[in-house]
Amino acid sequence: MRTGSVERNTKETKIKVSVNLDGTGEYSVSTGVGFLDHMLEQLSRHSLIDLTVEAQGDTHIDFHHTTEDTGIAIGEAVNQALGDRKGITRYGSALVPMDETLSRIAIDLSNRPYLIWRVDFSKPKLGDMDTELFKEWFQAFAQAAGATLHVENLYGENNHHIVESCYKGLARSLREAMEIDPRKADAVPSTKGTLGGSL
């Protein structure tokens, strides 16, 4: 089993995360931010990553630190679980429809972090959560996980549908990219023999 666990403690947040990449999508998530919990549950369920998240943050100020630091901690746990990334498929992509919305996500578990974010919202908040924080979460996750991640909403009207399709798309593309390729389970998927560093 490919597992990872991270504890992240700062003056702003206290977070514990554990992942099992070879799980069945079981989750226990508590961040103090209801909408973020909902998105992380979707991430677990559709990637089949078993995910446990316990977070306490300065939500009396706003949700920024909790959102960003949760992305960092989950990304670090995934990075830890991937190890040297030997045998992984490496690339994954997904087109995810949700009613009137369609989003496209592509990922390369390259160990070279990069985020392209082409997602616009028509409202500043979803529930109590600022919609600008979703980019912060994806940026933090990509950086900590060592992933090149492209997230694009092709069209949509409902902001809830837009962001949920992005998380589900991340889940599906991540599931594909982290799968072990039975034809090359003994090798890192790079002509360099290692992932990361220069192109």
3-state secondary structure the chain: CCEEEEEEECCCEEEEEEEECCCCCCEEEECCCHHHHHHHHHHHHHHCCEEEEEEEECCCCCCHHHHHHHHHHHHHHHHHHHCCCCCECCEEEEEEEECCEEEEEEEECCCCCEEEEECCCCCCEECCEECCHHHHHHHHHHHHHCCEEEEEEEECCCHHHHHHHHHHHHHHHHHHHHCECCCCCCCCCCCCCCCCCCC
Side-chain half-sphere of 81: how many Cα atoms within 13 Å?
A: 26
Q: What is the pLDDT of residue 51?
A: 98
- The pLDDT of residue 184 is 73
What percentage of residues in the chain have a pLDDT greater than 70? 93
Rounded-to-integer distance, Cα 76 and Cα 3, Å = 11
User: Quick one: pLDDT band at residue 193, thresholds 50, 70, 90?
Assistant: low
What is the arithmetic mean of pLDDT over 98-114? 97
| pLDDT tier, 189 (very low <50, low <70, confident <90, very high otherwise) | low
- What mean pLDDT comes out for the span 72-76? 98
Average pLDDT, the chain: 93
pLDDT of 52 > 80? The answer is yes
Average pLDDT over residues 33-38: 95
Tell me the mean pLDDT in the region 33-55: 97
Q: How confident is the model at residue 33 (pLDDT cuts 50, 70, 90)?
A: very high
Mean pLDDT calculated for residue range 73-99:
96
179 burial (CB, 10 Å; 0-12 / 13-18 / 19+) is middle
The pLDDT, as a whole number, for residue 60 is 87
Instruction: Compute the average pLDDT of residues 167-192.
Output: 84
* Average pLDDT, integer, range 85-114: 96
pLDDT at position 192 is 61
Report how far residue 49's alpha carbon sits from residue 152's, in angstroms, rounded to the nearest whole number.
23
Q: What domains are defined for the chain?
A: 3-178 (3.30.230.40)
Mean pLDDT of 129-137: 97
Please tell me the predicted confidence (pLDDT) of residue 135. 98
The structure's pTM equals 0.93
More confident of the two residues 148 and 197: 148
CA dihedral 8, 125, 119, 66 (to 10 degrees): 0
Task: Take residue 24 and report the two structure tokens written for it.
Answer: 């069945």
